[in-house]
Amino acid sequence: MASVNNTRISFSSTTSDQARRARKRQPSVLNGIGSSYEDRNSDFLCPICFDIIEEAHMTPCGHTFCYKCITTGLEYSNRCPKCNFVVEKKEQIYPNFLLNELITKYKQKLADKKLKMQTHNQAVSELHELIAQEADNMDLNDVYNMLEILSQKKQQLEADCKAAQAQILKEFLQQVRKHKQEQMDQLTSELNFIDEDLRSVEADVKEPERSWLAGMDSSSSELQAVPVEQSAMQDGFNGSKHGAKPQWLQSTLAARRKRVHLHFDDLEQCYLSARTKNLTSTSSDGLREFTENLSKFTRYSSMRPLATLNYATDLLNGTSIVSSIEFDKDNEFFAIAGVTKKIKVFEYGTVIQDIVDIHYPVNEMMCNSKISCISWSSYHKGMLASSDYEGTVTIWDAFTGQKVKMFQEHEKRCWSVDFNKVDTKLIASGSDDAKVKLWSIASDHSITSLEAKANVCCVKFNPESRFHLALGSADHCVHYYDLRSTKQPLGVFKGHKKAVSYVKFLNTTELVSASTDSQLKLWNINNPHCLRSFKGHLNEKNFVGLATDGDYVACGSENNALYIYYKGLSKQVLTFRFDVVRNILVSL
């Protein structure tokens, strides 16, 4: 019985294999014909019949088909077979005269090629027939003559083939040599400015030593008055004999060398790009730029927490997510807000000076919904704006805890709010309703609305402009607008693979964006291409925060860590991992 079943299985599989082999495979229209037995240009193939187009006609959406194919197709469906565009009637299709002319020339070319091949094949076949017919009448001398002619032809063909191969090899080697010569020229150029920079740096290193020796000479009379025993004691007890470097400087250099070694490849690329970018200007510009980058990169070696705040007042409450932390204009107060619907305002100096780790807010404000974002006014000391999950934008007096104004025009959750630093009455907000609304403190309603094509996740004003705004949205792009003309953005920065969750300006021309694709990207508003991508942190689901001081960029990570990047390097310069806080219910 088992053998019968196996036979059935093998028979059915054989039958299905034969059916699959017998089934005609359609050629790929996009990548050309799969088999090479006939020469066809895939640009001239009809997407319906997969043959060369006859009487090319075009639909309103721009796709071209055979007239017979498209008219037959429209009888069954009033949509374009390529893109599903609605074609209401047959009169909407019209001839593609240019393509018809190109196809006619292409067919003529194919016919000429086919005729040439047929002529050649016919001549060869006639020669074969002649030899076969006259074989009986040929003597040995005739055969030798024919062999000599064929041998000469063979040698000629072999020589032509070798010459063609040699020519191809020659051109290949020339291209390889050209490529390597370009690499050598680039390396020579790089070595030249490296040597130039090295001489400049060595001169700078010797300069402090000369000034130190000059100072030593000026006080030589005082040194001569010191007894020999006392001088020897000075050298042996915390002294720097013969100009030896102090211990703290040695340890600092060791730590910085280690950091440079860990990020050597990234630093090398940063140096070369800075120097090659400034080759046309003075030689010191690129070196000065890299020196600044290297100094800022190696300046800090670690982080430490100053204080720990508990956002949730109820220790049994497991949902205490903080959505936003923002400092006021003078960095004296900061506010935290999140899913508990509360905004808590703390005084920074008091928090970091408290001995005990229990901190109480200066003020606390209660909202009607979960809070997504907060923003301080850059002019009014206590003015604070918040956005929430109901789409409401609220203006607060942070010191009295009173609501100053409420805006309720967003139809869905409002993700972001931001004060303009130039026009301090102007506020922007972005929402899931794919709209950015501009508000004024002096008005009860929005003063304008910007229509985006996808959910708006973040908005940010240019810090030195009243009219320029950047927004990140769910279409994976950062859009940069001039609010005086909102029909088209000034720039669209593409590169992220998922929604853009944060946008922050480093300065007037540079901005950094964060996305749930675990990347930060640096942009220049005058360049559509990404300047640098920052990778290392983990961010695939949540909004983990983003902050910058103009040089350093900080962001959270879903592995419970804080990552610090320097804008000149792609890898993180510092990482701080937080202790995992266990839920009190688990400990009980």
Residues of the chain with CATH 2.130.10.10: 322-577
| Type of residue at 136 | D
Tell me the per-residue pLDDT of 163-191, one tens digit each, with 9 for 90 and over: 999 999 999 999 999 999 999 998 998 88
pLDDT above 50 (res 340): yes
Task: Specify the pLDDT at position 11.
Answer: 36
Neighbouring-strand partners of residue 321:
none
For residue 236, pLDDT beyond 70: no
Question: In sequence order, which ranges of 219-246 are alpha helices (DSSP H)?
Answer: 220-224, 228-236
Q: What is the CATH number of domain 39-95?
A: 3.30.40.10
Higher-scoring residue by pLDDT: 225, 290: 290
Sequence-distant (≥ 6) Cβ neighbours of residue 279 within 8 angstroms: 189, 193, 286
pLDDT at 33 over 60: no
- Who has greater pLDDT, 185 or 232? 185
Higher pLDDT, 501 or 138: 501
Local confidence band at 287 (pLDDT 50, 70, 90 cut-offs) = confident
Query: For residue 453, what are the contacts with CB-CB under 8 A and spacing of at least 6?
Result: 434, 473, 475
**Chain mean pLDDT for the chain:** 80
pLDDT mean over 551-570: 91
E strands within 240-295? none
pTM for the structure as a whole = 0.65
Place of tokens 């997969």: 50
* C-alpha span between 202 and 137 (Å, rounded): 95
Check residue 355 and give its pLDDT: 73
Q: State the average pLDDT over residues 128-141.
A: 76
Cβ neighbours of residue 485 closer than 8 Å, sequence gap 6 or more: none
In angstroms and rounded to an integer, the radius of gyration of the C-alpha atoms of the chain is 38
> How far apart are the C-alpha atoms of 28 and 50, rounded to whole Å?
9
Judged by average pLDDT, the poorest of 33-47, 56-70, 345-359, 571-585 is 33-47
**According to the model, what pLDDT value does residue 176 have?**
94
pLDDT tops 80 at residue 538 = yes
Question: Is the pLDDT at 107 greater than 80, yes or no?
Answer: yes
Banded pLDDT at 479 (limits 50, 70, 90) = very high
Q: What is the mean predicted confidence (pLDDT) over 482-492?
A: 90
pLDDT of residue 166: 92
The pLDDT value given to residue 282 = 57
Count Cβ atoms below 10 Å from residue 81 Cβ, excluding itself. 19
What are the φ/ψ torsions at residue 250 (nearest 5 degrees)?
-60, -45
- In the structure, what pLDDT confidence band is assigned to residue 264 with cuts at 50, 70 and 90? confident
**Of 205 and 213, the one with more pLDDT:** 205
Give the residue range(s) of CATH 3.30.40.10 domains in the chain: 39-95
pLDDT at 239 over 70: no
Confidence band, pLDDT 50/70/90 cuts, at residue 62? confident
User: What CATH class has 322-577?
Assistant: mainly beta
pLDDT band at 26 (very low <50, low <70, confident <90, very high): very low
Per-residue pLDDT averaged across 548-557, rounded? 92
What CA–CA distance (Å, rounded) separates 408 from 580? 38
